[in-house]
Amino acid sequence: MKPEHMRGRYSASAQFFHWLSALLVGVAWLLGQLREDFERGEPRRIVDFVHVSSGQLIVALLALRIIWRFIAPPSPEASPAGPWADRAAKFAHILLYVLLIAAPAAGVVTLFADGKPMRLFGLGEIASPWVKDKALEHSAKEIHEWLANGLIVLAALHASAALAHHFRLRDDVLKRMLPRWIAE
């Protein structure tokens, strides 16, 4: 049995997956927004590489997060806001996970539809399985952008809910996901 001060807290691994995912989503989204502001050539290639690599890491971390949830599930804690808030939180978490996979998947389709390979962290690449298709590339890019923007909006709502729990409801929802040295 965990000591009292450890009950309900997410593990250090879960916290690491959560905060690194949040950072990578922010980096990938910001680079996607600012891409056109970078000069063509090497600066833009670097931005594209970091953007795509961030997306690949997001997917890898999501897989690890899901595996970790089965190995070490978080302690369920009822919300003081009631059962409807618990259901809404569960739905939001599932939707976050769906968007964490769907946005990068649409990005891969965009790359392949443009006839470009997907570089794997500079270690290799996967060639496009399709012939270049400008219409598909345009549609996939639009979907990728919508999904990425939806992910950012939902992540902002998620963060807002955590802050509301902390400051308004005065519970430990936010502290459960913070490293101990920050939470105390």
* One-character DSSP codes across 4-48: GGGTTPPPHHHHHHHHHHHHHHHHHHHHHHHGGGSPTTHHHHHHH
The mean of the pLDDT values for the chain is: 91
CA distances from 139 to 76, 107, 114, 132 (A): 40, 11, 11, 13
Distance between CA atoms of residues 44 and 27, nearest Å: 15
Place 1 in a pLDDT band, splitting at 50, 70 and 90: very low
Kindly tell me if the per-residue pLDDT of 153 is higher than 70: yes
pLDDT at position 172: 87
Q: Which residue has the higher pLDDT, 76 or 58?
A: 58
Helix (H, G, I), strand (E, B) or coil at 85: helix
- Give me 87's structure tokens: 């259901």
Residue ranges per domain, the chain? Answer: 8-183
- Domain 8-183 falls in which CATH fold? Fumarate Reductase Cytochrome B subunit (1.20.950)
Question: Structure pTM?
Answer: 0.89
Least confident of 20-24, 44-48, 166-170: 166-170
Place 7 in a pLDDT band, splitting at 50, 70 and 90: low
Kindly tell me if the per-residue pLDDT of 3 is higher than 70: no
pLDDT at position 159: 96
126 close to 117: Cβ distance less than 8 angstroms? yes
- Strand-pairing partners, residue 118, are 126
Distance between CA atoms of residues 47 and 28, nearest Å: 9
**Mean pLDDT calculated for residue range 53-73:** 94
Contacts of 70 (CB under 8 A, 6+ apart): none
